[in-house]
């Protein structure tokens, strides 16, 4: 074999740009992927907190190997036999399941947070926009019941556009249902901490997400009741900059603290220590 | 001003009016014809109103002459002492309330207020409450609990107001807080959906132990127009969205979200407000007499926990 011939088999596999770099969706900076992952998908340049999946969040907050999922079999129910212009709810739900590997827009369970046993519900925006379907509401309600039964502090991490239109009124009824679960915790003196992440709006912000003993938000998260477009159409004027952000809510007195992602676990642990079981 | 599907009725009305005018002539003999047309008119109206589509029902539920909470209060209660303000910010006229007496029952009433004239509607913000409205309702419900009075809540709103100030003062928190307070309220809550049950704005005072609904009222997670513009990408598809969302009383009864339908008079509540108000009064009295206070908050929570409960055996999607 001539010295000038290339040995094709020995050539390293080409590495695509996408595999090495991540582009921040806020400041468009190119971040080395390893750095991106190790920072919990927070941009080191601008501090933008990228949305996390439910399992990424759980892994970040719960001690390794201690999380046990409950009610994992609960999934979508098509109460209305809903069909819109783009197809049926059944098909949409199926797509969401395939895309995310989840059966609903929330993962619930229990585990340890710096050694302290807690019950938890973590929403996943990728599943139909984290919308509050009957399965979502049921899982959150049952997780609050689990927390009540075992006297565990309850944490919900919200990420949701609000109600799930495809389930119509049944979706709306998940608001009182989840709040009924939270009310029982309040009465039993069991902590309920609400963590609001980007975005938390509509029927989720107007139910369990806003009534934590402590409401915590991630920096820059969109949090509000009505959609920006709806408000603009109603009042016929542009919205002020920074409207409906975590910082706006802090200023108006609706959240207790804005906590960066990398400090969230410690913050939760430190606050929960003030509870006497 | 009639609704589009009432056109055939208006045509008949015009003919009746014309014949009545001609009949003024002493030589005219239109009495039988007029009587026949009047009978035809009421039969036609009955037919139209018993076959309304979901979208037509929305039009009836939003009818400007539909009785408002002020009409219900006047027609149902022998006394009403209005109480004002949320003790934090102001007095929202989109939700009103106070002490009221229904025969021998003393109650606390809260409800959305719409107006019939433009002036009234501006004052009531078209029934779209701000956070202080929900907080006033919460204060009155807690007062009811303290005084051992049942709460009667009247729902009629396009939705909670979507505005900058509403957000700044915590619209989401106000509704969420009400849901949590109602979950724990140790006094009966009887809710009547009288017109539009607009999403979070409706449930914000509507978490009843018993939920009654007028036969041409609607109750929905989103307005048909809003749903159409999102899922159909065309607000004009509201009639389709209205159908798909299952927002009419019979659908909601089947879904277990409401407990009872109060029949409206043949041409809708706006055609005969007194009859509609009397029907609501009868239903309220019946429920006030039989509702038990025993473990009422726990039973309320159980009722709502059961809505949309996951059933394993069903065909999974």
Nearest by CB to A135, from B220, B255, B310: name it.
B310
Q: How many residues does chain B have?
A: 317
Q: What was the pLDDT predicted at B134?
A: 98
Q: Are B38 and B173 within one domain? A: no
Distance of alpha carbon A211 from alpha carbon A196, whole angstroms:
11
Domain total in chain A? 2
Q: Are B174 and B100 within one domain? A: yes
**CA distance, residue B317 to nearest chain A CA (Å):** 6
Q: What was the pLDDT predicted at A5?
A: 62
Give chain A positions within 8 Å (CB) of B316.
Answer: 75
| Best residue in B249, B257, B258, B305 for a mutation probing chain A (most A CBs within 10 Å) | B305
Nearest partner of A74 among B309, B302, B303, B307, judged by Cα? B309
Q: Tell me if A157 is assigned to some domain.
A: yes
A72 touches chain B (CB under 8 A): no
Q: Are A83 and A187 within one domain? A: yes
The residue-averaged pLDDT of A211-222 equals 98
Q: Please report which confidence band the pLDDT of residue A19 belongs to, taking 50, 70 and 90 as the band edges.
A: confident
Q: Tell me if A12 is assigned to some domain.
A: no
Nearest C-alpha in A relative to B125? A234
Q: What was the pLDDT predicted at B205?
A: 98
Q: Are A37 and A140 within one domain? A: no
Q: What was the pLDDT predicted at A238?
A: 87
Q: Are A199 and A164 within one domain? A: yes
Q: Please report which confidence band the pLDDT of residue B158 belongs to, taking 50, 70 and 90 as the band edges.
A: very high
Helices B131-147 and B171-183: crossing angle in degrees, nearest 10, is 20
A85 touches chain B (CB under 8 A): yes
Domain end, chosen from A8, A34, A50, is at: A50
Cα B101 to chain center, whole Å?
21
Helix, strand or coil for residue A152?
coil
Nearest by CB to B255, from A170, A186, A252: name it.
A170
Nearest by CB to A169, from B160, B255, B311: name it.
B255
Distance of alpha carbon A225 from alpha carbon A244, whole angstroms:
9
Domain total in chain B? 2
Q: Are B236 and B287 within one domain? A: yes
**CA distance, residue B80 to nearest chain A CA (Å):** 29
Domain end, chosen from B19, B35, B51, is at: B51
Q: B317, A141: Cβ pair inside 8 Å?
A: no
A243 touches chain B (CB under 8 A): yes
Q: Are A31 and A72 within one domain? A: no
Nearest C-alpha in B relative to A141? B305
Q: Tell me if B314 is assigned to some domain.
A: no
| Best residue in A206, A228, A230 for a mutation probing chain B (most B CBs within 10 Å) | A206
The residue-averaged pLDDT of B97-103 equals 97
B247 touches chain A (CB under 8 A): yes
Q: Tell me if A143 is assigned to some domain.
A: yes
Nearest by CB to A177, from B170, B307, B317: name it.
B307
A212 touches chain B (CB under 8 A): no
What ipTM, to 2 d.p.?
A: 0.95
Nearest by CB to A254, from B173, B181, B300: name it.
B173
Nearest partner of A217 among A185, A260, A267, judged by Cα? A260
Q: Are A58 and A45 within one domain? A: no
Residue A227 sits in which domain range? 51-272
Q: What was the pLDDT predicted at A20?
A: 87
Which residues, listed in sequence order, are joined to residue B107 by a DSSP beta bridge? B100
Q: What was the pLDDT predicted at A229?
A: 86
Which range (A38-52, A214-228, B303-317) has the least confidence? B303-317
pLDDT in tens, A234-275: 888 889 999 999 999 999 999 999 999 999 999 999 999 999
Please give the biggest Cα pair distance in chain B. 76
B14 touches chain A (CB under 8 A): no
The residue-averaged pLDDT of B35-64 equals 95
**CA distance, residue B246 to nearest chain A CA (Å):** 7
Chain A contacts in chain B segment 184-203 (CB below 8 A): 184, 199-200, 203
Q: Which stretches of A44-190 are DSSP H helices? A: 54-61, 89-100, 134-150, 168-172, 174-187
Q: What was the pLDDT predicted at A7?
A: 57
Q: Are B218 and B260 within one domain? A: yes
B179 touches chain A (CB under 8 A): yes
Is the CB of residue B284 less than 8 Å from the CB of residue B76? yes
Nearest partner of B189 among B97, B80, B277, judged by Cα? B97
The CB-side HSE value for B178 (13 A sphere, CA atoms) comes to: 31
Q: Tell me if A2 is assigned to some domain.
A: no
Q: Please report which confidence band the pLDDT of residue A13 belongs to, taking 50, 70 and 90 as the band edges.
A: low
- β-strands A154-160, A116-123: how paired? parallel
CB pairs under 8 A between A and B: 206
Chain B contacts in chain A segment 104-123 (CB below 8 A): none
Q: What was the pLDDT predicted at B27?
A: 86
Query: Tokens 């204060």 correspond to what residue?
Result: B139
Q: What was the pLDDT predicted at A198?
A: 97
Is the CB of residue A216 less than 8 Å from the CB of residue A193? yes
DSSP of A1-31:
--TTS--GGGSPPPPPHHHHEEE-TTT--EE
pLDDT in tens, A130-162: 999 999 999 999 999 999 999 999 999 999 999
| Best residue in B180, B300, B301 for a mutation probing chain A (most A CBs within 10 Å) | B180
Q: What was the pLDDT predicted at A142?
A: 98
CB-based burial, A12-24: b 16+ in 10 Å, e otherwise: eeeeeeeeeebeb
**CA distance, residue B103 to nearest chain A CA (Å):** 31
Q: Tell me if B317 is assigned to some domain.
A: no
pLDDT greater at residue B13 or residue A8 = B13
Nearest C-alpha in A relative to B251? A80
Check whether A15 has a pLDDT greater than 70: no
Q: What was the pLDDT predicted at A14?
A: 62
Residue B19 sits in which domain range? 4-51
* Percent of chain B scoring above 90 in pLDDT: 94
The CATH number assigned to the domain holding B83 equals 3.90.226.10
Nearest C-alpha in A relative to B300? A180
Q: Are A28 and A96 within one domain? A: no
Query: Tokens 């006094």 correspond to what residue?
Result: B187
Q: Are B240 and B221 within one domain? A: yes
Q: Tell me if B290 is assigned to some domain.
A: yes
Q: Are A230 and A244 within one domain? A: yes
Q: Are A43 and A95 within one domain? A: no
Q: Are A65 and A162 within one domain? A: yes
Which residues, listed in sequence order, are joined to residue A113 by a DSSP beta bridge? A116
| Best residue in A93, A225, A226 for a mutation probing chain B (most B CBs within 10 Å) | A225
B24 touches chain A (CB under 8 A): no
Q: What was the pLDDT predicted at A4?
A: 64
Q: Tell me if B311 is assigned to some domain.
A: no
Q: Please report which confidence band the pLDDT of residue B84 belongs to, taking 50, 70 and 90 as the band edges.
A: very high
- β-strands A30-32, A21-23: how paired? antiparallel
B1 touches chain A (CB under 8 A): no
Q: Tell me if B165 is assigned to some domain.
A: yes
Q: Are B151 and B187 within one domain? A: yes
Q: Tell me if B310 is assigned to some domain.
A: no
- β-strands A21-23, A223-224: how paired? unpaired
pLDDT in tens, B215-262: 999 999 999 999 999 999 998 999 999 999 999 999 999 999 999 999
Mean of the per-residue pLDDT values of chain B: 95
Mean of the per-residue pLDDT values of chain A: 94
Nearest by CB to A176, from B161, B167, B207: name it.
B207
Is the CB of residue B216 less than 8 Å from the CB of residue B65? no
Nearest partner of B238 among B58, B7, B5, B60, judged by Cα? B58
DSSP of B107-136:
EEEEEE---SSHHHHHHTGGG---HHHHHH
Q: Tell me if A9 is assigned to some domain.
A: no
Q: Are B212 and B139 within one domain? A: yes
Give chain B positions within 8 Å (CB) of A243.
Answer: 164, 167
Q: Are B116 and B217 within one domain? A: yes
pLDDT in tens, B266-296: 999 999 999 999 999 999 999 999 999 999 9
Check whether A111 has a pLDDT greater than 90: yes
Q: How many residues does chain A have?
A: 277
Q: Tell me if A238 is assigned to some domain.
A: yes
Distance of alpha carbon A61 from alpha carbon B77, whole angstroms:
55
Q: Are B14 and B63 within one domain? A: no
pLDDT in tens, B191-204: 999 999 999 999 99
Check whether A2 has a pLDDT greater than 60: no
Q: Are B31 and B112 within one domain? A: no
The residue-averaged pLDDT of B133-143 equals 98
Nearest partner of A254 among A201, A214, A202, judged by Cα? A214
The CATH number assigned to the domain holding A167 equals 3.90.226.10
A209 touches chain B (CB under 8 A): yes
Q: Tell me if B313 is assigned to some domain.
A: no
Q: Are B13 and B88 within one domain? A: no
Q: Are A26 and A61 within one domain? A: no
Query: Tokens 């212009």 correspond to what residue?
Result: A85
- β-strands A87-88, A83-84: how paired? antiparallel
Q: Tell me if A75 is assigned to some domain.
A: yes
Q: What was the pLDDT predicted at A24?
A: 92
Q: Are A78 and A38 within one domain? A: no
Distance of alpha carbon A32 from alpha carbon B273, whole angstroms:
69
Is the CB of residue A119 less than 8 Å from the CB of residue A93? no
Q: Are B137 and B46 within one domain? A: no
DSSP of B198-259:
EHHHHHTT---SEEEEETT-EEESS-HHHHIIIIIS-GGGHHHHHHHHT-BHHHHHHHTS-S
Cα A99 to chain center, whole Å?
16
Q: Are A130 and A259 within one domain? A: yes
Check whether B316 has a pLDDT greater than 60: no
* Percent of chain B scoring above 70 in pLDDT: 98
């Amino acid at each position: 074999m001539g010295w000038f011939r290339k040995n094709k088999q020995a050539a390293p596999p080409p590495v695509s740009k996408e595999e090495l770099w991540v582009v921040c969706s806020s400041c468009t900076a190119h971040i080395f992927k390893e750095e991106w992952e190790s920072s919990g998908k927070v941009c080191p340049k601008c501090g933008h907190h990228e949305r996390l999946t439910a399992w990424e969040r759980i892994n970040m907050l719960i001690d390794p190997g201690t999380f046990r999922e409950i009610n994992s079999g609960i999934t979508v129910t098509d109460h209305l036999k809903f069909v819109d212009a783009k197809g049926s709810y059944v098909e949409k739900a199926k797509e969401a399941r395939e895309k995310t590997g989840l059966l609903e827009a929330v993962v619930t369970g229990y585990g340890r947070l710096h050694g302290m046993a807690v019950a938890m519900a973590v929403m996943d925006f990728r599943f139909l926009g984290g919308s509050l379907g009957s399965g979502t509401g049921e899982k959150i309600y049952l997780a609050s019941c689990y927390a009540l039964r075992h006297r565990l502090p309850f944490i919900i991490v919200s990420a949701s556009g609000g109600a799930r239109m495809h389930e119509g009124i049944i979706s709306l009824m998940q608001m009182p249902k989840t709040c009924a679960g939270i009310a029982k915790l309040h009465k039993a003196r069991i902590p309920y901490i609400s963590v609001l992440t980007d975005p938390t709006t509509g029927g989720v912000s107007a139910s369990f997400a806003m009534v934590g003993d402590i409401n915590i938000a991630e920096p820059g998260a969109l949090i509000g009741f009505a959609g920006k477009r709806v408000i603009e159409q109603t009042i016929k004027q542009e919205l002020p900059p920074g409207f409906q952000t975590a910082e706006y809510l802090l200023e108006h007195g609706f959240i207790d603290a804005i906590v960066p992602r990398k400090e969230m676990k410690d913050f939760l642990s430190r606050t929960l220590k003030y509870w006497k079981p | 001003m009639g609704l589009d599907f009432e056109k055939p009725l208006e045509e008949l009305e015009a003919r009746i009016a014309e014949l009545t005018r001609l009949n003024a002539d002493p030589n005219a003999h239109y009495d039988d014809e007029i009587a026949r047309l009047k009978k035809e008119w009421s039969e036609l109206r009955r037919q139209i109103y018993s076959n309304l589509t979901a979208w037509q029902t929305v039009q009836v539920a939003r009818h400007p002459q539909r009785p408002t909470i002020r009409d219900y209060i006047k027609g149902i209660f022998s006394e009403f002492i209005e109480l004002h303000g949320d003790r934090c910010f102001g007095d929202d006229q989109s939700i009103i309330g106070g002490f009221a007496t229904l025969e021998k029952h003393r109650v606390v009433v809260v409800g959305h207020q719409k107006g019939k004239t433009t002036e009234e509607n501006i004052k009531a913000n078209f029934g779209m409450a701000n956070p202080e409205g929900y907080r006033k309702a919460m204060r009155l419900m807690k007062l009811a609990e303290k005084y051992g009075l049942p709460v009667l809540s009247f729902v009629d709103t396009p939705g909670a107001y979507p505005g900058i100030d509403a957000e700044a003062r915590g619209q989401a928190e106000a509704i969420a807080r009400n849901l949590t307070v109602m979950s724990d309220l140790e006094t009966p809550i009887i809710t009547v959906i009288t017109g539009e049950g607009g999403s979070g704005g409706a449930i914000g005072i509507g978490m009843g132990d018993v939920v009654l609904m007028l036969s041409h009222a609607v109750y929905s997670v989103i307005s048909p127009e809003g749903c159409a513009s999102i899922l159909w990408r065309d607000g004009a598809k509201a009639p389709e969205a209205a159908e798909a969302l299952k927002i009419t009383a019979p659908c909601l009864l089947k879904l277990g979200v409401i407990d009872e339908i109060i029949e409206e008079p043949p041409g809708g509540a706006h055609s005969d407000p007194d009859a509609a108000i009397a029907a609501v009064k009868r239903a309220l009295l019946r429920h006030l007499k039989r509702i038990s206070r025993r473990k009422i908050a726990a039973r309320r929570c159980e009722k709502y926990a059961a809505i949309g409960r996951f059933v394993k055996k069903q065909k999974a999607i």
